[in-house]
Amino acid sequence: MLDGVGLEGPRCTDAGSIERHLAEFRWKDRPTIVDRSSGPVPVFINEFWTSRQRAAHSLHEVSYRACFKPQLPRFFIERLTDPGDTVYDPFMGRGTTTLEAALLRRVPAGCDASPLSRVLAAPRLRPPSLAAVDERLRSLDWTACEEIPDDLLTFYHPETLREIVALRACLRHRRDAGQSDAVDDWIRMVAVNRLTGHSPGFFSVYTLPPNQAVSVSAQAKINANRNQTAPRRHVPGLILAKSKSLLADHDAATESALAAVRARACVLTADAAFTPELPDASVHLVVTSPPFLDVVNYAADNWLRCWFCGIDPADVPLTVVRRIDGWRAAMTRVFRELTRVLVPGGFVAFEVGEVRGGRVRLEEHVLPCGVEAGLDPVLVLINAQQFTKTAACWGVDNNRKGTNTNRVVLFRKPEGTSS
């Protein structure tokens, strides 16, 4: 049962059973049909999963811009797959779908053009013990400091920055020497998520929330406006504290679930439209959320994380399009690849959103993309709920409308269809 919803029952194996399963949750006072060239598609609008924050497994609690709640993939995974099936996210981000799939004993597969996604996602499929993290942190040479970049003193106390640079150097040297392991990967992932934020749990002075990093000049203005200087933060202590928080729910049952599927897990850094590593007809369910036109500047948001990981953002071929026709063309290419990797009868849950002040409803544009690639549209599910965060960057005026929506288009690959 999902909080506040009360949906229970056997797996939905066809479009008709999904519609019957959701019929009682259709709001009668809202439009219930999207009539596109592909024909009418039923729309279901309600609160299908909880709006509460931190209501999922503790391993999910890493920050990344434009990520959906774990309850979204869980909703579809539980209803459309069985344990042992493969669940795939071609726009992996922080790895919400892949981790949730693994926790539910489904084989996780994920892909993202940004190598940061692998940094964030892969370690949480193989979490170390807190004792192992503590031991590794104690063994590192925190005096192995290279020359510190002076511009980063805008964010950090000098001693804190020396520890950050030392950790960066130690992890790189261990990797170059072939000594890097799951504990190193975990520490790198946690450090990336502690680089900047707006509380004492982060390495930095007060700045924007941890899912984005402002520029040096913008941070200088924040410092001046707040009359603040960077406080001393102790990097190993904060990494251990965040590790303890992330591992809070990591019990024997969690480890058993992850261990059952991790040997078959696949985490790629690649173009979502070209993934030859995934065999034909190997994926049972896709749950994903693509880039939403030009609403988010991933390179600008993640420049500091890229610096720490030794990634050049200019080398990352991200999908950033500003015109709807370009977005549709890019998504159609991805849908063709998803059609190839899906098993006959497999599903795609494609989460999009309202952008540009609600003038563009991407679910209406994604329907023909999937149809052109050979998929059958099943329904549109709109999860509408009270929401308190400012989401102007998504085109959702929460102060006026008071709601936030996940808009999911569900497709199915026809039975008897080859790749």
Kindly state whether residue 80 falls inside one of the protein's structural domains. yes
Six-digit token string for 230: 């960077």
Taking alpha carbons only, the member of 329, 326, 338 closest to residue 294 is 326
CA distance 122 to 99: 9
CA distance 176 to 166: 15
* 408 and 295 in a common domain: yes
Taking alpha carbons only, the member of 339, 374, 347, 345 closest to residue 285 is 347
* 357 and 281 in a common domain: yes
Kindly state whether residue 206 falls inside one of the protein's structural domains. yes
* 134 and 106 in a common domain: no
> Quick one: DSSP state of residue 50?
-
pLDDT at 133 (0 to 100) = 98
Six-digit token string for 314: 């200019």
> Quick one: DSSP state of residue 283?
E
* 160 and 24 in a common domain: no
- Max CA distance (Å), the chain: 66
CA distance 379 to 34: 9
Taking alpha carbons only, the member of 285, 266, 287 closest to residue 277 is 266
Which domain CATH number covers 257? 3.40.50.150
pLDDT values of the chain reduced to their tens digit, one per residue, 419 residues: 222 222 333 455 555 566 565 555 444 344 455 545 556 788 877 777 766 655 789 999 998 776 788 999 999 999 899 999 999 999 999 999 999 999 999 999 999 999 999 999 999 999 999 999 999 999 999 988 778 899 999 999 999 999 999 999 999 999 999 999 999 999 999 999 999 999 999 999 999 877 678 999 999 999 999 999 999 999 999 999 999 999 999 999 999 999 999 999 999 999 999 999 999 999 999 999 998 765 566 777 889 999 999 998 777 766 666 788 888 899 999 999 999 999 999 999 999 866 655 566 777 888 999 999 999 998 888 877 554 443 333 233 433 333 356 789 999 999 876 66
* 238 and 256 in a common domain: no
Kindly state whether residue 8 falls inside one of the protein's structural domains. no
* 387 and 291 in a common domain: yes
Last residue of a domain, one of 207, 224, 246: 246
Kindly state whether residue 312 falls inside one of the protein's structural domains. no
CA distance 346 to 411: 8
* 237 and 268 in a common domain: no
Query: Which whole-number Å values give the CA distances from 112 to 29, 173, 270, 281, 312, in the listed order?
Result: 39, 26, 6, 20, 15
CA distance 266 to 111: 8
* 147 and 88 in a common domain: no
| Domain span at 73 | 15-115+252-300+317-412
Last residue of a domain, one of 227, 246, 265: 246
Kindly state whether residue 125 falls inside one of the protein's structural domains. no
CA distance 88 to 110: 5
Last residue of a domain, one of 246, 261, 276: 246
Question: What's the structural domain count of the chain?
Answer: 2
Kindly state whether residue 60 falls inside one of the protein's structural domains. yes
* 296 and 374 in a common domain: yes
CA distance 18 to 218: 48
pLDDT at 37 (0 to 100) = 54
Kindly state whether residue 121 falls inside one of the protein's structural domains. no
* 44 and 104 in a common domain: yes
Asked if residues 239 and 191 have their Cβ atoms less than 8 Å apart, the reply is yes
* 215 and 149 in a common domain: yes
Kindly state whether residue 372 falls inside one of the protein's structural domains. yes
Q: What is the dihedral angle through the alpha carbons of 382, 385, 387, 390, rounded to the nearest 10 degrees? A: 20
* 400 and 274 in a common domain: yes
| CA–centroid distance for 358 within its chain | 23
Give 373: exposed, middle or buried? Use CB within 10 Å, 0-12, 13-18, 19+: buried
Q: Which is it for the CA torsion 352, 357, 358, 359, positive or negative?
A: negative
